[in-house]
Chains A and B, each alone.
Chain A
């Protein structure tokens, strides 16, 4: 198990070192063009929208959460 880190015990220098080391990792990231990301984002949304009940709505008789008017529900 990696050493217990109690944030209260870290000195300001420890924290600054952690921050610097973290940025060294992040600066190396390979980044995609936002145009590619936006296109994929839009496609992902459109792909699922027809099955999305909250967007499309649902017929009263098909709605599992409809008002239970008398009778029994057998689960």
Chain B
């Protein structure tokens, strides 16, 4: 038997063992477990603010988390700008011109001191918001990926994790501008990543239809979750960090529990046939807000896996969504160039 065949056979054998081990612990389904709970009441959110200013498709947005900026958010548009917004007043705190307008992601540092972005330039650019003269300048350009930057998330002011179309994720030292760790294993473009609430792990979703859980310090992949039938575009942690939520081009979202190492439930509806672009759980995790290619955001009861609301207000694809860290509002960004704040 050739070496390839040998290796494939071993891997398949191990995969069968994993499938068996998952079945062994599956003594109930989430559907059965929640049979006695009541569906959450119909959720009707209103647009409270519309953030106007971008001149082209918005591709990403991220809320600030620090108490000083819990009502601030950053958005990235292919008009070549990053805008930091005060969502209460709709004022633009900063409008940062980018070297490359082909931006696909942006992130706000937990401290509120920096923002980052990247895209088809294959780089992650870090901007210091708190420069001495009040000007926002590029602090670092993190270059090493051989594919587009699909997502980035800060661990602190000195470390950031990126995911790329080159199938890898990287942990960077912002100070030196170098790669600390390369996380390889996905067999398709990495589309999205999310950091665990304790900052020890991160998850990535890719075009190989799987999600992977990585241990940041051990530099290893702990678990791989399958089941989706197409690219995973969006990924997030359940608020307590014990479960992972994914959104895919197969029109479904899935909830995977880290301890059971398997899917607990799928959020799908025969009436929904377009891909999921973005997702965010509400503060308690009771609701899952997911943006779709059909311009809507569907709101799901995460326990009962039924739709309990829709956010209809954009005139084009909803490309990004985020819930503020205090859970008070959700922000949607769209290809129609607007961001909306809802609650």
Contact = CB atoms under 8 A, between A and B. Distances in A.
B18 A55 contact: no
A31 B21 contact: yes
Given A4-B179, A19-B11, A44-B285, A75 B28 contact: no
B343 interface: yes
Contacts of B1: none
A51 B17 contact: no
Interface string A6-46: 11100011011111101111110101111111111110110
Given A27-B17, A58-B328, A34 B284 contact: no
Interface residues of B, number: 78
Contacts of A20: 7, 10-11, 14
Contacts of A73: 88-89
Nearest to B11: A20
Contacts of A23: 10-11, 14-15, 18
A48 B10 CA distance: 44
Contacts, number: 195
A12 to B, nearest CB: 6
A19 B285 CA distance: 33
Interface of B: 3-4, 7-8, 10-11, 14-15, 17-18, 21-22, 24-30, 33-34, 37, 40, 43, 45, 48-49, 71, 86-89, 144, 146, 166-168, 178-182, 184-185, 187, 219-224, 238-240, 242-243, 257, 259-262, 264, 282-287, 289, 302-303, 323, 327-330, 341, 343
Interface of A: 1-2, 4-8, 12-13, 15-20, 22-27, 29, 31-42, 44-45, 47-49, 51-55, 58, 63-68, 73, 75
The 5 A-B pairs with the shortest beta carbon distances in the complex, nearest first, are A48-B284, A23-B14, A38-B33, A65-B48, A16-B7
